[in-house]
C-alpha cells in the first residue's frame, strides 16, 4: 500500500454546528505536496464541503494562513514532508473569530489597517495630482522603510501575538509595521496624524515585546522591531512636542 498521511482538521459550519469538531482525513502521502495541495486534494476528491481560503499558492497573496500543528503558517509553502510520518493538525488562525472551518473573520484587521492611514500623506494636498515629475528617493532613504513594506497582510502575526489574544483592541503587529513603513518614507508627512493612533491606548504600548510576530512572519517584516522603534520615536516625539509647547 502506498504511503499515507493523516490530517486532523477543525470543522465548524454555523448553519448546523453548535460547536467545533475535528475530522480526520487519511490521504496518499506525496513528499513534494504542500499542506495546501493536501487540502485541495481533500476538497476535490474526498469532501467538497471543506472551506478554506487560498489563491496564489506562491506565498505572496497572503490568503492561506492556518495553524499547522499549533503554529501559524502559510499552507502553500509548508510541506507534508516536514511532518511525515507524524499527523498534521490544521486549525483556523488563532485569535480571530471563526466564520467556517478554516476561514476566519478579518473584519477587525481590515478596519485597523485603514485606521492608521496607510497612504502617503502630504501637507500640500495638490502634491498628489502633480505627475509632471517623480519624487526623488535615494536607495538609502528607501532602505529606511523597505523591509516593512513587504507585509502581505497574511495576519499570521496576529495569530501568534499573545497581546492581541488578550486585548482584541490592540492594533497589532502588521498594522503597526505598516505605520512604521509610511512614517519612515521620505515622501510622507503624516507621522503626527498616525501617532494619534499608534501612540494611543491600543497602540504600541500594548505590545509586551514577546517577538512571536517576527518569528512567524513569512516575509521577514520584523514587526516587533518596528513596534519597539515606534515606541522610542513616540516617546521622543512627545517629549519634543512638550518642549515646543504643542499638544
Partner 1 sequence: MEVFSHDILIVGGGGAGLRAAIEIAKSNPSLKTAVVSKVYPMRSHTVAAEGGCAAVLKEDDSYDLHAYDTIKGSDYLADQDAVEAFVRDATREVIQVERWGCPWNREDNGRIAVRWFGGMSKKRTLHAADKTGFHLLHALFQTSLKYDVIKRYDEWFASALLVDDGKIGGLLAYDIRRGEFHILTAKAIILCTGGVGRIFYFSSNAGIKTGDGAAMAYRAGAPIKDMEFIQFHPSGLIKTGILITEAARGEGGYLFNNKGERFMEKYAPTKMELAPRDIVSRSIIQEIRAGRGFDGTYGSYIHLDLRHLGEAKIEEKLPMVRELCIDFAGMDPVHEPIAIRPTMHYTMGGVHTDKDGKTPIDGLYAAGEGGCVSIHGGNRLGSNSLAEIMVFGARAGKSAADYAAKTKPASTDKLKSLAKQEMDRIEKRYIKTNNGKERIGAILSDLRKTMDEKVGIYRKEGELSEAVQAVRKLKERFNNIRLTQQSKVFNTELLNAMELDNMLDVAEVVALGALNRKESRGGHAREDYPNRDDANFLHHSLAYQTPQGPRMEKLPVTITKWKPEERKY
Q: Give me the phi and psi of 44, to 5 degrees please.
A: -75, -35
Please count the other Cβ atoms lying within 10 Å of the Cβ belonging to residue 104: 24
Site string for partner 1, 149-188 (x = CB under 8 A): xx-xx------------------------x---x--x-xx
**Distance from chain centroid for Cα 71:** 13
Considering beta carbons, is residue 140 or 244 the nearer one to partner 1? 140
Q: What part of residues 195-224 is at the interface with partner 1 (CB under 8 A)? A: none
**Residues linked to residue 68 through DSSP beta bridges, in sequence order:** 71, 90
Considering beta carbons, is residue 96 or 163 the nearer one to partner 1? 96
191 binds partner 1 (CB under 8 A): no
Q: Helices (DSSP H) in 71-160: which residue ranges? A: 107-115, 139-146, 156-160
Using an 8 Å Cβ cutoff, are 169 and 112 in contact? no
Q: Pick from 186, 153, 191, 163: which is nearest to 59 by CA?
A: 153
Interhelix angle 173-183/223-243, rounded to 10 degrees, is 60
Q: Distance between CA 241 and CA 54 in Å, rounded?
A: 46
Judged by CB under 8 A, the residue of 24, 26, 28, 47 near partner 1 is 47
DSSP code at position 230: H
Least separation in angstroms between CB 165 and partner 1: 22
Considering beta carbons, is residue 145 or 164 the nearer one to partner 1? 145
Least separation in angstroms between CB 14 and partner 1: 5
Q: What part of residues 13-42 is at the interface with partner 1 (CB under 8 A)? A: 13-16, 32
Residues binding partner 1 (CB under 8 A): 13-16, 32, 43-45, 47-49, 51-63, 77, 99-101, 103, 106, 110, 113-114, 117-120, 127-128, 130-139, 141-142, 145-146, 149-150, 152-153, 178, 182, 185, 187-188
Amino acid at each position: 500500500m502506498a504511503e499515507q498521511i493523516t490530517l486532523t482538521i477543525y470543522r465548524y459550519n454555523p448553519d448546523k454546528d453548535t460547536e467545533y469538531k475535528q475530522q480526520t482525513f487519511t490521504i496518499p502521502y506525496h513528499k513534494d505536496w504542500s499542506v495546501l495541495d493536501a487540502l485541495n486534494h481533500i476538497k476535490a476528491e474526498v469532501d467538497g464541503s471543506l472551506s478554506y481560503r487560498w489563491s496564489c499558492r506562491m506565498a505572496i497573496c497572503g490568503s492561506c494562513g492556518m495553524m499547522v500543528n499549533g503554529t501559524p503558517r502559510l499552507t502553500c509553502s509548508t510541506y507534508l514532508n516536514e511532518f511525515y510520518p507524524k499527523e498534521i493538525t490544521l486549525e483556523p488562525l488563532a485569535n480571530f473569530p471563526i466564520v467556517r472551518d478554516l476561514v476566519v473573520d478579518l473584519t477587525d484587521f481590515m478596519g485597523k489597517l485603514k485606521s492608521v492611514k496607510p497612504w502617503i500623506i502630504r501637507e500640500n494636498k495638490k502634491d498628489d495630482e502633480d505627475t509632471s515629475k517623480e519624487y526623488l528617493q535615494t536607495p538609502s532613504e528607501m532602505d529606511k522603510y523597505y523591509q516593512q513594506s513587504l507585509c502581505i497582510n497574511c495576519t499570521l502575526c496576529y495569530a501568534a501575538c499573545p497581546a492581541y489574544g488578550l486585548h482584541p483592541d490592540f492594533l497589532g503587529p502588521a498594522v503597526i509595521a505598516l505605520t512604521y513603513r509610511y512614517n519612515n518614507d521620505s515622501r510622507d508627512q503624516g507621522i503626527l496624524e498616525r501617532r494619534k493612533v499608534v501612540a494611543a491606548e491600543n497602540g504600541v504600548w500594548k505590545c509586551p515585546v514577546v517577538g512571536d510576530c517576527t518569528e512567524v512572519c513569512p516575509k521577514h517584516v520584523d514587526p516587533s522591531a518596528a513596534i519597539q522603534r515606534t515606541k522610542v520615536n513616540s516617546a521622543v516625539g512627545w517629549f519634543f512636542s512638550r518642549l515646543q509647547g504643542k499638544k
